[in-house]
């Protein structure tokens, strides 16, 4: 009963999504967005006219003006600084625009351009001081805040009357201040255009990446040749220009130069920036975050004003929000990876029936024996981690190594060894195509092709992205084993889409169907996912009908058959399940049956743990990986089976001294060659009653050597 | 209330009592492979305890009592049940515990009938030691599980070990201490009694008035029998080492319950006296043979360890057989002649190391 509940709970509740969602970068934007929606909803319920077009247009105008300043602040904060002088620059730009327009009667385009230049110059003062002279951003902009504000105060003493008495009636100026296009205020439109450009700039253009890089690590950015000083200085210039654009719209809308213009603006903008999720430490942030932050702050302040809160309360609320946002930001940045690593591992319920007996004397096809005891060794101590082995028609033996090489040993004694090709990742399954190209699955890289002359080419490293997957599963993480059909389709397994190759134990701990079978078409060069949701798919072999493949699910302890063509196209059938061990590679035997490596054997303690996901989740959190309960891959065996799912014989090595681990085997001219991913040797075993002329290549491609 | 909340929080976060921390082998417990270099004195099926009367070694091997003098082993006598503890008494006497439930005292090793026999209230007597006042001290590991079923007692968090005083004159059995997490091994020291409390990973000292004191705490192993060492101090054996996985399982009641119910004991996630016999045993991450080698630092499912304690009860030095070794499950160690003779229950061996080879700390 309890077990049924556990099974249902883990079957229908997607535990693994939480970690995947949290590890997405957009979750950091999602939280402010949710906050914005909550604030918006609360206000629309408590204020009557909140959602009226007039009110929305008014909010949009303000949001646009502050939004420009927010964009500037976002740039400066992302590059690792801060700009406190925005309020004063705003005031000076406002004055500049109105002075040029009202007192000097300049034309509007000239006013706009010159105001922006003035804003840029004011920002450039900050930029030079901070970027080139390396002053502290905080103190520098605090000083310019005071200086610019004093300048503004002096200027308005002299000119405020002249400005106030002028009533310019210029349509274009009015359009800037209060015009709409299709009901959308002009300022909001311009803001949207600039915001879209800003997003592309920050995420797609080189200078944007430079800015993020400098904010992330100034020294590394410098070391990689980024012009750090100039970029920083330009960010402050941009902040000044963007602030002056905001001021232009403000000037056009209100046309005043009051003493309190821009006072306290830096707090509002800073609150918006931090609240949007732009980290004060630098290196992280986006345009969307800035926009969301501005909207939240504006809604809160406007909402409070509409509810007749006094100015003091308003500022107090803003300051409190800033404090909380900064606090959350710091804690989140510090603990983000830790939290994700804690929730990412999501074990699920995986029940297997009791395994068939393997003990000597109990009978059955898996009864242990010592037939592999006399395996002779090839390349002992000279090769490391040969997961798969393969022989070509000239009897040359190929194997992968963990140094990222394909090495080969030459007959007759397999003493002479050379590096055939260097790829760089751990080679796993291998197969020859008709043209003697060697296709290799490389853990962490994808499917590669090695031509007979040793040139390495990438076949594929991506497939179609699945719609319902949160993690981007288009890149191949752990291509494992492959086989090639007569039509040149390469079916290969990808063991897991959630973990890297060295993290395979975590996938075993989860015991979820994280893996898939992928098909690469050598004729068209396209890749698509054939099957997904498999429990660590591993060995792949084309079946005798040429229309289906046999594949092993390591942690599913089963062999399945998948039809990719013919009348049963798309069907998946179980060939064998409830194996006593973990199946690995599958290869053809000389008598038409198949060899299967059991890389490890099931232990009752892990079988039980697989039925208790909570136990494994806690184990993952509290026990170091070296002490986890693992699938036992120290002992294994080789079995021969047929397509009907019958085990014909098994080969064991009781002590496992000679060849501890078996991940793969390949029959060739009466011998069985054994590979093991944690071994420093290749095994060679003389088969009785095997065809002494059997060469897999010849049999597969109908040639004879 | 607050205690309950904090206990809940501890369990949730893996802190406090719920922490699975195991102290590292450090200081005097720094690992070596000394036990792997030991000479094999004798191999037998089921060695359980060893004692010496000064002239020869007596070894309990299942139901057989074996005398080892020089290199010749002779079976002194056989009992109807396996011997679970053995002690040589002053004046040539012999005390044996049979099956954990009966203790017999003989005047000499050859005597036909026991001089005294105790059986009342005994359940899992696993060590005997003569006291200075002529009585016999016995540790009784558990009052629920038999001597061979200690792993179940550990997995059930057994807390009912006892220390008993057996008085041969009156035939009385007095309880000196109870509620122990598997009492296993005792030795008299200046009127006090030192007792190994295996499941609490400590050695306690019990004063004549019954008051207890922790002599050695937070051991990374499950301590077992104690014996006096020449020059003051003691030899403390440890029949298994703790691992974080076992500590974790001990804090997982549901898993333990099902494991006890559904899995054969030899395949439990529990310490054992030997390991690596079957692939059905639980395997931990570091156990995976890489390039053909299992690393000695892998978490030990079975381990061999003898600790030399000084007269103050503090560790001076230690002899190890690590995860990749063979001489595991050391349950008893005595000095005999110039050697330290030990019982390795894992491989079924009596092994010896010359004391002279063990360095200064082992002799002082």
Residue A172's CB: how many other CB atoms inside 10 A?
13
State which residue of chain A sits closest to B292, comparing Cα positions.
A679
Q: What is the CATH number of domain B23-275+296-363?
A: 2.120.10.30
Partners of residue A355 in chain B, C-beta under 8 Å: none
User: DSSP readout, A601-617?
Assistant: E--HHHHHHHT-HHHHH
Query: In the predicted model, is pLDDT for residue A50 greater than 80?
Result: no
Work out the percent of chain A whose per-residue pLDDT is above 70. Answer: 100
Q: Across the interface, do B255 and A618 touch by the CB < 8 Å criterion?
A: no
Range with the largest mean pLDDT of A259-273, A327-341, A543-557 = A543-557
**CA separation for the pair A445, A461 (Å, rounded):** 6
**Which pair of structure tokens corresponds to residue A620?**
């993952």
| Predicted local distance difference test score (pLDDT) of residue A123 | 94
For the residues A396-412, what does the mean pLDDT come to? 94
pLDDT tens per residue, range A117-144: 999 999 999 999 999 999 999 999 999 9
Q: Answer whether A628 touches B (CB < 8 Å).
A: yes
Nearest Cβ partner for A605 among B14, B20, B268:
B268
| Structure tokens, B95 | 């005390």
pLDDT of B364 reads 62
Q: What is the CATH number of domain A376-429+538-701?
A: 2.120.10
- Are B14 and A679 a contacting pair at CB < 8 A? no
List CB contacts (< 8 A) between B263 and chain A: 604-605, 608
- Chain A: nearest CA to B345, how far in angstroms? 21
Compare CB distances from A635 to B245, B263, B279 and report the shortest one's residue. B279
Closest CA to B306 of B230, B362, B231: B362
Tally C-beta pairs within 8 A across A and B: 106
Residue range A672-691: mean pLDDT, rounded: 92
State the pLDDT at residue B158. 93
| CA closest to A616 among chain B residues | B255
Looking only at the bridges linking them, the beta strands covering A647-652 and B315-321 are unpaired
Average pLDDT of B126-138? 92
Q: What is the pLDDT of residues A165-174, one digit of tens each?
A: 877 778 888 8
- Tell me how far apart the alpha carbons of residues A326 and A317 are, in angstroms, rounded to a whole number: 14
List beta partners, residue B12: none
Whether the predicted pLDDT of B19 surpasses 80: yes
Average the pLDDT over B86-95 and give the result.
90
pLDDT of residue A2: 83
Axis-axis angle for helices A613-622, B253-262 (nearest 10): 120
Which helix (H) or strand (E) segment holds residue B97: the answer is strand B94-98
Q: A631 and B283: CB-CB below 8 Å?
A: yes
Mean pLDDT on A205-215? 93
Short-list B237, B233, B238, CA closest to B361: B233
* pLDDT of A320: 86
Per-residue pLDDT tens digits for B287-301: 998 888 889 999 999
Q: What local confidence, expressed as pLDDT, does residue A660 receive? A: 83
Name the residue in chain B with its Cα closest to that of A605.
B282
One-character DSSP codes across A403-459: TSEEEEE-TTTS--EEEEEE-SSEEEEEEE-TTS-EEEEEETTEEEEE-TT--EEEE
Using CA atoms of A292, A293, A299, A302 in order, give the dihedral in degrees to the nearest 10: -140
Q: Which residues contact B197 (CB under 8 A, 6 or more apart)?
A: B161, B180, B181, B182, B183, B184, B203, B204, B223
Q: Which residue among B248, B285, B290 sits closest to A630, beta carbon to beta carbon? A: B285
Domain ranges of chain B: 23-275+296-363
Residue intervals of chain A classified under CATH 2.120.10 are 376-429+538-701
Of A384, A605, A626, the CB nearest to B285: A626
Chain B residues with CB-CB distance to A634 below 8 A: 279, 283, 287-289, 294
Which tops the pLDDT comparison, B1 or A71? A71
- Quick: pLDDT tens for A568-593: 999 999 999 999 999 999 999 999 99
pLDDT tens digits for A547-557?
999 999 999 99
Residue from B285, B297, B299 to probe the interface with A (highest A Cβ count within 10 Å): B285
Higher-confidence residue: B256 or A102?
B256
Identity of the residue in A603, A614, A660 whose CB atom sits nearest the CB atom of B267: A603
Residue in A605, A618, A626 nearest the CB of B259: A605
Q: What residues of chain A lie within 8 A of the CB of B258, using their CB?
A: 608, 612
Q: Is the pLDDT of residue A430 over 90?
A: yes
B 276-295 residues inside an 8 A Cβ radius of A: 279-292, 294
User: Residue A700: pLDDT band by 50, 70, 90 thresholds?
Assistant: confident
Which string of b and e fits B117-145 if b means at least 16 CB within 10 Å? ebeeebbbbbbbbbbeeebbbbbbbbeeb
User: Is B299 an 8 Å CB contact of chain A?
Assistant: yes
The tokens for B280 are 């059905």
Please state the rounded mean pLDDT for residues B189-199: 92
Whether residue A48 is predicted with pLDDT greater than 80 in this model: the reply is: no
Chain B positions touching A603 (Cβ under 8 A) are 267, 279-283
Indicate if the pLDDT at residue B108 is higher than 60. yes
Within an 8 Å CB–CB cutoff, is residue B326 touching chain A? no
Measured CA to CA, the distance from residue B228 to residue A508 in angstroms comes to 49
Q: Give the per-residue pLDDT at A159.
A: 86
Please write down the HEC assignment for all residues of A189-230.
HHHHHHHHHHHHHHHHCHHHHHHHHHHHCHHHHHHCCCCHHH
Average pLDDT over residues A372-400: 92
Q: Give the DSSP letter of residue A353.
A: P
Give B241's contacts in chain A (Cβ within 8 Å). none
Average pLDDT over residues B183-204: 93
Q: B245 and A606: CB-CB below 8 Å?
A: no
**What is the model's pLDDT at position A398?**
96
Q: Residue A521's Cα: distance from chain center in Å?
A: 26
Which residues in chain A are classed under CATH 1.10.3470? 2-48+59-164+176-341
> What's the rounded mean pLDDT across residues B125-147?
93
Mean pLDDT of all residues in A491-495: 95
Q: Is the pLDDT of residue A518 over 70?
A: yes
From the list B267, B291, B299, the residue facing A605 with the nearest CB is: B267
Taking 80 as the threshold, does the pLDDT of residue A178 lie above it?
no
Flag if B284 and A624 touch (Cβ within 8 Å). no
- Domain covering A2-48+59-164+176-341 assigned CATH 1.10.3470 in the classification: yes
Do the chains contact at A623 and B259, CB–CB below 8 Å? Answer: no
Q: Which of A689, A686, A633 is nearest to A663 (CA)?
A: A633
Mean pLDDT of A345-372: 91
In whole numbers, what is the pLDDT of chain A averaged over residues?
90
The phi, psi pair for A377, rounded to 5°, reads -110, 140
Q: Residues 6 or more apart from A585 whose CB is under 8 A from it?
A: A388, A429, A481, A538, A539, A552, A596, A597, A663, A664, A665, A675
């Amino acid at each position: 009963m309890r077990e049924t509940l556990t099974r249902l709970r883990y079957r229908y509740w997607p535990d693994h999504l939480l970690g995947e969602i949290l590890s997405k970068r957009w979750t950091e934007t999602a939280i402010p967005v949710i906050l914005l929606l909550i604030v918006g909803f609360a206000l629309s319920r408590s204020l009557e006219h909140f959602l009226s077009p007039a009110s929305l247009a008014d909010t949009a105008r303000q949001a646009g003006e502050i939004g420009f300043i927010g964009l500037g602040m976002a740039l400066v904060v992302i590059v690792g600084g801060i700009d406190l002088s925005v309020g004063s620059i705003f005031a000076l730009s406002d004055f500049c625009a109105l002075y040029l327009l009202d007192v000097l009667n300049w034309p509007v385009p000239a006013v706009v351009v010159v105001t922006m230049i003035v804003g840029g110059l004011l920002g450039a003062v900050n930029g030079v001081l901070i970027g080139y002279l390396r002053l502290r951003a905080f103190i520098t902009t605090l000083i310019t805040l005071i200086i610019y504000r004093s300048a503004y105060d002096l200027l308005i003493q002299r000119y405020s009357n002249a400005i106030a008495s002028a009533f310019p009636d210029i349509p274009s100026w009015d359009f800037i201040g209060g015009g709409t296009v299709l009901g959308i205020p002009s300022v909001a439109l311009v803001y949207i255009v600039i915001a879209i450009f800003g997003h592309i700039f920050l995420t797609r253009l080189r200078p944007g990446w430079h800015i993020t890089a400098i904010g992330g690590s100034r020294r590394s950015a410098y070391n990689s040749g980024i012009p750090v000083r100039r970029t920083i200085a330009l960010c402050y210039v941009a902040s000044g220009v963007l602030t002056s654009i905001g001021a232009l719209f403000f000037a056009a809308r209100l046309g005043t130069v009051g003493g309190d213009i821009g006072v306290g603006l830096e707090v509002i903008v800073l609150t918006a920036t931090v609240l949007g999720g732009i980290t004060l430490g630098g290196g992280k942030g986006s345009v969307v975050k800035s926009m969301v932050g501005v909207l939240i702050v504006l809604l809160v302040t406007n909402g409070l004003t509409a509810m007749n809160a006094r100015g003091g309360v308003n500022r107090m609320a803003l300051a409190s929000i800033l404090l909380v946002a900064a606090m959350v930001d710091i804690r989140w940045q510090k603990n983000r990876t830790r939290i994700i690593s804690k929730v990412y591992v999501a074990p699920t319920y995986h029940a297997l029936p009791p395994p068939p007996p393997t003990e000597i004397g109990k009978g059955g096809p898996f009864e242990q024996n010592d037939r592999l005891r006399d395996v002779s060794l090839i390349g002992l101590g000279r090769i490391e981690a040969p997961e798969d082995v393969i022989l070509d028609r000239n009897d040359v033996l190929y194997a992968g190594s963990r140094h990222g090489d394909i090495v080969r040993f030459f007959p007759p004694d397999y003493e002479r060894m050379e590096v055939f090709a260097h790829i760089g990742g751990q080679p796993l399954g291998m197969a020859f195509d008709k043209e003697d190209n060697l296709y290799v699955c490389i853990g962490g890289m994808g499917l590669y092709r090695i031509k007979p002359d040793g040139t390495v080419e990438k076949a594929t490293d991506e497939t179609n992205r699945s719609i319902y997957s949160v993690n981007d599963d288009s890149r191949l993480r752990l291509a494992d084993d492959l086989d090639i059909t007569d039509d040149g389709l390469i079916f290969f397994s990808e063991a897991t889409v959630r973990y890297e190759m060295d993290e395979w134990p975590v996938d075993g701990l989860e015991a979820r169907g994280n893996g898939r079978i992928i098909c690469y078409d050598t004729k068209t060069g396209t890749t698509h996912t054939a099957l997904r949701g498999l429990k660590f798919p591993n060995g792949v072999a084309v079946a005798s009908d040429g229309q289906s493949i046999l594949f092993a699910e390591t942690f599913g302890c089963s062999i399945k058959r998948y039809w990719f063509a013919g009348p049963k196209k798309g069907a998946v059938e179980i060939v064998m399940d409830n194996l006593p061990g973990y199946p690995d590679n599958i290869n053809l035997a000389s008598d038409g049956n198949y060899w299967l490596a059991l890389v490890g054997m099931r232990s009752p303690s892990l079988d039980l743990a697989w039925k208790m996901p909570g136990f494994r989740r806690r184990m993952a959190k509290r026990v170091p990986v070296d002490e986890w309960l693992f699938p036992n891959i120290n002992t294994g065996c080789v079995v021969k089976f047929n397509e009907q799912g019958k085990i014909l014989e098994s080969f064991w090595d009781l002590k496992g001294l000679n060849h501890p681990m078996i991940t793969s085997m390949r029959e060739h001219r009466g011998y069985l060659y054994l590979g093991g991913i944690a071994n420093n040797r290749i095994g060679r075993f003389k088969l009785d009653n095997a065809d002494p002329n059997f060469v897999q290549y010849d049999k597969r491609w109908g040639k004879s050597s | 209330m607050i205690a309950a909340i904090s206990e809940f929080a501890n369990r949730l976060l893996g802190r406090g009592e719920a922490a699975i921390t195991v102290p590292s082998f450090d200081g005097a417990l720094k690992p070596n492979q000394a036990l792997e270099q030991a000479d094999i004195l004798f191999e037998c099926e089921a060695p359980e305890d060893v004692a010496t009367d000064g002239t020869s070694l007596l070894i309990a091997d299942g139901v057989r009592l074996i005398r080892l003098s020089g290199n010749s082993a002779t079976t002194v006598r056989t009992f109807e049940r396996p011997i679970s503890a053995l002690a040589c008494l002053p004046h040539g006497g012999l005390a044996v515990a049979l099956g954990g439930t009966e203790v017999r005292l003989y005047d000499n090793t050859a005597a036909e009938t026991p001089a005294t026999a105790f059986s009342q209230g005994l359940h899992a007597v696993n060590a005997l030691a003569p006291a200075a006042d002529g009585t016999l001290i016995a540790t009784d590991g558990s009052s629920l599980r038999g001597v061979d079923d200690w792993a179940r007692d550990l997995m059930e968090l057994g807390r009912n070990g006892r220390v008993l005083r057996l008085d041969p004159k009156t035939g009385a059995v007095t309880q000196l201490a109870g509620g122990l997490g598997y009492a296993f091994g005792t030795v008299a020291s200046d009127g006090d009694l030192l007792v190994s409390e295996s499941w609490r990973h400590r050695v306690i000292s019990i004063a004549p008035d019954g008051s207890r004191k922790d002599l050695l705490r937070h051991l990374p192993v499950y301590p077992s029998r104690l014996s006096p060492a020449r020059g003051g101090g003691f030899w403390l054996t440890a029949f298994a080492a703790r691992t974080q996985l076992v500590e974790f399982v001990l804090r997982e009641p549901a898993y333990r319950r099902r494991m006890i119910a559904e899995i054969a004991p030899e395949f439990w996630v529990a310490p054992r006296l030997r390991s690596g016999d079957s692939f059905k045993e639980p395997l931990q991450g570091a156990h995976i043979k890489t390039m053909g080698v299992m690393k000695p630092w892998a978490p030990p499912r079975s381990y061999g360890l003898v600790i030399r304690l000084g007269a103050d009860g503090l560790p001076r030095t230690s002899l190890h057989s690590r995860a990749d070794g063979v001489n595991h499950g050391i349950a008893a160690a005595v000095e005999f002649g110039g050697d330290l003779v030990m019982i390795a229950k894992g491989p079924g061996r009596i092994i010896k190391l010359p004391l002279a080879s063990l360095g200064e700390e082992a002799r002082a």
